């Protein structure tokens, strides 16, 4: 390990065997944390090249079990988002794909900081079971077409060991380490096609378009070197995605989109992500055909039927599809309205809203924080909307009056108004 640390510090190149040994040693707890931490810091200063990133990814994937999807129909698909404020696309995209005949087996994470986690959203649904064994995931996917669970300790255990140290040592933002973390879990879960949603903006991990594009390119190229077929969309995260931020609130919005899809940014992105998956999986021949199939699955009720079957298979109360009160509801709701002359929404800073959601209890500042599934924000205006006096801007769902008042003040900080019409920002910035 001292040799690996010295090589990394000097900017030398590791071999595939070096990185496989490191990953296995991390997974088994055979390398002291202080040595792994030293190597991680050296990697941040002297980042892995593409070869090394692929070798580390493969080593991390091989550090535990690999899910065998034999018997499930091809393509063996997975979808991943780098996380953003209000990002609940998985809850709609997976049912669309299943309605189009694909089978999706997916591991998701819990949220940390402003980027919410899909598992937290699913756990806000009464009865929803997220701790499935690999065998349960495969059996459910064969029956329903969808299985989603929290990360198994049996799959890519090196990622869990290294991520815990990255979080504690300020080395989370290394692009090669991000790439290896994401793709090692996809390989371990048995995927052969991966669709990536790389978020860009104040409400995402990558704040600039340049950094988001670099991450997307590294993900796609590393996936190719590891034998995966991958495509990526770099998508806008300057404002929250959709109308809601908060776990139960986002589940309600996803169910509403499945029942009555509209032309808003959230539904449009779900269709585009699903279409990209259909193209990558060679289930559709053209972009137009792929989008048409995704829209039909959503508008025709096929995706809704698959979502119901998925939720019921994992123990959820089916009443959540019929009654809003079947999901957790916050006791306090307060609405901010526009006062004064007509104005246009110029900005609604997703980063500020994300921080406020964490303060409300919808997210975690540290891994041990408890989540309140009921709290969050509901937005009635987005960038480009013209407001007149009395129009609602946002509703805060809170556990107390004090929390609601503080959160409304933050919304005012995040909101920028102007006198001139505003052009809607592009939803998809780049497609790879």
| 392 assigned to some structural domain | yes
- Judged against a pLDDT cut of 70, whether residue 323 lies above it is answered with yes
Can you tell me whether residue 389 is helix, strand or coil?
coil
Q: Is residue 428 part of a domain?
A: no
Q: Residue 85 carries which DSSP code?
A: T
355 within a domain of the structure (yes/no)? yes
Residue 57: pLDDT band with limits 50, 70, 90: very high
Nearest CA to 195 out of 278, 125, 290, 266 is that of 278
Let me know whether 301 and 366 are in one domain: no
pLDDT in the model for residue 140? 95
**Angle formed at CA 395 by CA 394 and CA 397, multiple of 5 degrees:** 145
Q: Band the pLDDT of 261: cuts 50, 70, 90.
A: very high
Give the domain CATH number at 300.
3.40.1030.10
| 182 found inside a domain | yes
The tally of CA atoms less than 13 A away on the side-chain side of residue 399 is 13
Q: Classify residue 423: in a domain, yes or no.
A: no
| Span between the terminal Cα atoms of the chain, in Å | 37
What average pLDDT score do residues 372-382 get?
A: 96
Q: 321, 266, 268: which is closest to 294 by C-alpha?
A: 268
3 state SS of 123: helix
Residues involved in catalysis: 80, 159, 166, 181, 185
Cα dihedral value 197, 259, 329, 203, nearest 10: 20
Q: 210 and 345 share a domain? A: no
What is the DSSP code (8-state) at residue 35?
Answer: H
Range of the domain at 364: 329-418
Please give the tally of structural domains in the chain. 3
Which CATH number does the domain housing residue 379 bear?
3.90.1170.30
Asked if residues 159 and 30 have their Cβ atoms less than 8 Å apart, the reply is no
- The two structure tokens encoding residue 226: 């590891």
The owner of tokens 């029942």 is 259
Mean pLDDT of the chain, nearest integer: 94
With cut-offs at 50, 70 and 90, classify the pLDDT of residue 115: confident
**Distance separating alpha carbons of residues 121 and 84, to the nearest angstrom:** 13
Read off the pLDDT of residues 22-53 as tens digits, 9 standing for 90 and up. 999 999 999 999 999 999 999 999 999 999 99
What's the CATH code of the domain at 21?
1.20.970.10
Q: What is the pLDDT of residue 112?
A: 66
Q: Residue 350 has what DSSP assignment? A: H
Q: In the 3-class helix/strand/coil scheme, how is 192-241 assigned residue by residue? A: CEEEEEEEECCCECECCHHHHHHHHHHHHHHHHHCCCEEEEEEEECCCCC
Considering the domain architecture, whether residues 311 and 346 belong to the same structural domain is answered as: no
What per-residue confidence (pLDDT) applies to 167? Answer: 78
Encode pLDDT of 122-147 as tens digits.
Answer: 999 999 999 999 899 999 999 999 99
Helix (H, G, I), strand (E, B) or coil at 112: strand
Residue 424 lies in a domain: no
Domain-terminating residue out of 321, 337, 358: 321
153 pLDDT tier (thresholds 50, 70, 90)? confident
The answer to whether residues 223 and 294 belong to one domain is: yes
Report the percent of the chain where pLDDT is more than 90: 85
**Beta carbons of 115 and 85 less than 8 angstroms apart:** yes
Place of tokens 């919304």: 411
Q: Which of 321, 346, 366 is the last residue of a domain?
A: 321
Q: What percent of the chain has pLDDT over 70?
A: 99
User: Against a cut of 0.85, is the pTM above it?
Assistant: yes
**Is residue 379 pLDDT above 80, yes or no?**
yes
Do both 227 and 125 map to the same domain? yes
- Describe the strand order of the beta sheet including 415-418 as a list of residue ranges: 386-387, 343-348, 415-418
199 and 215 share a domain?
A: yes
Last residue of one domain, picked from the residues 321, 339, 367: 321
93 and 18 together in one domain: no
Residues 242 and 379 in one domain: no
pLDDT value of residue 79? 93
Token representation of residue 32: 């002291």
User: What is the predicted pLDDT for the residue at 181?
Assistant: 92
Coil, helix or strand for 65? strand
State yes or no: pLDDT of 114 exceeds 80. no
Domain membership of residue 432 (yes or no) is: no
Residue 283 has pLDDT above 70, yes or no: yes
Model confidence pLDDT, tens digit, residues 324-353: 899 999 999 999 999 999 999 999 999 999
80-83-86-87 Cα dihedral, nearest 10 degrees: -10
What's the rounded Cα separation, in Å, for the pair 99 and 293? 9
Q: Are residues 154 and 291 in the same domain?
A: yes
**Does one domain contain both 209 and 337?**
no
Does residue 228 lie in a domain region? yes
Examine the domain organization and report whether 385 and 301 are in the same domain: no
Give residue 96's pLDDT. 97
Residue 300 banded pLDDT, cuts 50, 70, 90: very high
C-alpha angle 393/252/144, rounded to 5°?
A: 150
Residue 187 and residue 294 in one domain:
yes
């Amino acid at each position: 390990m001292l040799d690996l640390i010295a090589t990394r510090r000097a900017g030398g190149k590791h071999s595939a065997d070096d990185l496989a040994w490191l990953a296995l040693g991390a997974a088994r707890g055979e390398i002291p944390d202080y040595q792994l931490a030293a190597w991680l810091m050296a990697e941040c200063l002297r980042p892995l090249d593409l070869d090394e990133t692929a070798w580390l990814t493969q080593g991390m994937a091989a550090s535990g079990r690999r899910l065998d999807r034999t018997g499930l129909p091809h393509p063996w698909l997975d979808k991943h988002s780098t996380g953003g404020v209000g990002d609940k696309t998985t809850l709609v995209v997976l049912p669309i794909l299943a309605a189009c005949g694909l089978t999706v087996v997916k591991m998701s994470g819990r949220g940390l900081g402003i980027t919410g986690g899909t598992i937290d959203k699913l756990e806000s649904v009464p009865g929803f079971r997220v701790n499935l064994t690999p065998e349960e995931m495969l059996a459910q996917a064969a029956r329903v077409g969808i299985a989603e669970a929290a990360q198994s300790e049996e799959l890519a255990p090196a990622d869990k060991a290294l991520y815990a140290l990255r979080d504690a040592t300020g080395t989370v933002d290394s692009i090669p380490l991000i790439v290896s973390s994401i793709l090692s879990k996809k390989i371990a879960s048995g995927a052969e096609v991966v669709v990536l949603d790389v978020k860009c903006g104040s409400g995402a991990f990558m704040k600039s378009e340049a950094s988001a594009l670099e991450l997307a390119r590294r993900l796609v190229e590393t996936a190719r070197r590891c034998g995966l077929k991958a495509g990526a969309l770099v998508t806008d995260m300057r404002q929250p995605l959709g109308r809601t931020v908060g776990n139960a609130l986002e589940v309600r919005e996803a169910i509403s989109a499945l029942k009555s899809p509209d032309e808003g940014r959230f539904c449009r992105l779900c269709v585009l992500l699903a279409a990209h998956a259909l193209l990558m999986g060679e289930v559709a021949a053209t972009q137009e055909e792929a989008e048409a199939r995704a829209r039909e699955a959503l508008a025709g009720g096929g995706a809704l039927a698959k979502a119901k079957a998925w939720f019921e298979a994992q123990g959820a109360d089916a009443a959540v599809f019929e009654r809003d009160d079947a999901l957790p509801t916050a006791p306090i709701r307060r609405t901010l309205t526009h006062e004064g002359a007509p104005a246009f929404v110029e900005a609604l800073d997703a980063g500020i809203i994300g921080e406020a959601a964490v303060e409300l209890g919808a997210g975690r500042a540290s891994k041990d924080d408890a989540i309140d599934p009921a709290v969050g924000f509901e937005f009635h205006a987005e960038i480009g909307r013209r407001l007149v006096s009395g129009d609602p801007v946002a509703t805060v769902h809170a556990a107390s009056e004090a929390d609601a008042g503080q959160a409304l003040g933050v919304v005012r900080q995040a909101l920028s108004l102007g006198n001139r019409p505003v052009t809607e920002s592009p939803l998809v910035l780049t497609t790879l």
